[in-house]
Structure 1
């Protein structure tokens, strides 16, 4: 594998998710990255106007503007669409040899997510070292969950970190949008600095034998969404059941309460083959009618990282 050199660290993709914004601002005040001499680190705030407004976005969701087709549309004059073009040139261009080696995008969620690590591009041999990194982070940070957002071709996936050759999204919660919580902020900072430390030692070939060794890793694979029951006027007809609230990444079985409307409780029907909900009652998704996202849980074998830098294809389960 080639060394990881150019790293883009992005906060404020959503202007009301404050941990990443304040973390990037604090890191920009550092005079240098002397602890990571092999890395060229670019810290930036993605959506300055939304940050000033204290909102998720100004005109449209910036984190939905980076698909291949959207980046080719130069006629869209909305602020986030124009900003996506600028970020694509700074971090990418997407699909090019000049793109950054890694983009880390910093997010918060109102759901009980813990320290989430989301990977969208899972089709490259680079998934091998990313999963070894995830295992390392799971040993140093609390409640780490690894999520695969896509299996297979991700060229039309619209997310900002895909502009780089490799993507990582650090999604931490629960934290109310527009607020800061010390535990969430410090956990996000730890994830970032531990990642940079791992990459520095990966580049210098000083990872320990244990860090390189074959492992088994628990991973959650995104399989779909569940919508709220809706009234004809577009308003919610039910709430998340109290028994489900806060149970992100816990098994949801047939018969478990899902929605509550007055004295009537809607329970889970047959969910294939099992369901581990995430983003339960995420505030940003309510306007789209999304109650939670579905995942399936699996265990992956992660091969040893060889000293010669060779990478292996990770065998992924079929979603069919």
Structure 2
């Protein structure tokens, strides 16, 4: 796989303003309850170098415990959508309000980091998703991911976009840097204790890393060069359908729950709902995730494909200098 050349070093911007967002989807309740608990009783006394803004994103969807009211809020933050005069839904109005509060996107005034809290019905574990991979800030974000991987169980790091992400529509991109903590499995509209506490560990672990970096208190080991396993998203796989568009097959039992495990040529992927016949994987090896995610069924998406790779993450130097990370190409 060809990679991008390693570029010159850049200085890490001070991380001061952090937006912590729950309820972007109103039925993903770990983030909702975590943000509510922090609004009732803030626990940020150990993070004096950070200004932390806790926000519930989609109040109406939270109230009715639905993913959204009119349209998916987490698809309303692209450049073209934010600049549109046709704010024709509750979520569009809300996106503009959130953009004004923790952005504006692409501006020098935007928050330094947005952490967006999500749940999935798939066996995702503790997922850390990064969409903006084109900035040198990817260096410290991956060092932070490694820090969390060593402290929270079952962490998977997913790079969602390689290259220009200016038209990607996701809420955390309103800040200068984005992180999404996607934790599961948890049925929508429910709360699972292990999932809630793992999400809380991710949040407070990230804040601890940033606070100690700001104070130049990270250890030599925490700042050292590392090899880090990441998964790079390469595309969606759709359910087989009939000519009328109805579902023809379900996820095979052999694949269900196997997020981030290798899917090989000839492995069962789907099972026909009438004949019971297995439909086998006929593409190159991949590592699926979001397998049988409930929110994706209406779009016909069965899972997302990723490729697994090992990245070399240079030392995070105490002077704040950053390196571009060599990423593989995705064809």
Q: Give the TM-score band, short-chain normalised.
A: over 0.9
* 2:315 equivalent among 297, 301, 304: 304
**Corresponding position: 1:130 with 2:141:** yes
Deviations 1:87-137 (A, max 9, x none): 000010000000000000000000000000000000111000000000000
* 1:180 equivalent among 183, 188, 191: 191
For 1:144, the equivalent position in structure 2 comes to 155
Residues 32 and 192 of structure 1, relative CA distance in 2, 3 Å threshold: closer
Deviation at 1:32, TM superposition (A): 5.8
* 1:165 equivalent among 176, 201, 222: 176
1:79-158 mapped onto 2 (5 Å cutoff): 79-158=90-169
Question: Mind listing any 5+ residue stretches in structure 1 that lack a counterpart?
Answer: none
For 1:257, the equivalent position in structure 2 comes to 268
Deviation at 1:33, TM superposition (A): 2.0
For 2:203, the equivalent position in structure 1 comes to 192
Task: Show structure 1 runs of 4+ deviating over 4 A.
Answer: none
Deviations 1:175-230 (A, max 9, x none): 00000000000000000001000000010000000000000000000000000011
For 1:229, the equivalent position in structure 2 comes to 240
1:140 partner SS: coil
The CA distance in 2 between the partners of 1:31 and 1:298, in whole Å, is: 38
For 2:300, the equivalent position in structure 1 comes to 289
2:144 partner SS: helix
Deviation at 1:31, TM superposition (A): 4.5
The CA distance in 2 between the partners of 1:41 and 1:3, in whole Å, is: 14
**Corresponding position: 1:75 with 2:58:** no
* 1:280 equivalent among 265, 270, 291: 291
The CA distance in 2 between the partners of 1:298 and 1:157, in whole Å, is: 23
Q: TM-score, normalised by structure 1?
A: 0.98
The CA distance in 1 between the partners of 2:158 and 2:330, in whole Å, is: 14
Q: TM-score, normalised by structure 2?
A: 0.95
Deviation at 1:86, TM superposition (A): 0.4
* 2:225 equivalent among 209, 214, 224: 214
The CA distance in 2 between the partners of 1:97 and 1:220, in whole Å, is: 30
Query: CA RMSD of the aligned region, Å?
Result: 0.8
**Corresponding position: 1:43 with 2:50:** no
If asked which structure has higher relative contact order (CA below 8 Å, sep 6+), I would say 2
The CA distance in 2 between the partners of 1:32 and 1:14, in whole Å, is: 24
1:183 partner SS: helix
2:49 partner SS: coil
2:63 partner SS: helix
2:127 partner SS: strand
For 1:15, the equivalent position in structure 2 comes to 26
Deviation at 1:34, TM superposition (A): 1.2
1:305-320 mapped onto 2 (5 Å cutoff): 305-320=316-331
Question: Mind listing any 5+ residue stretches in structure 2 that lack a counterpart?
Answer: 1-11
For 1:34, the equivalent position in structure 2 comes to 45
The CA distance in 1 between the partners of 2:138 and 2:92, in whole Å, is: 29
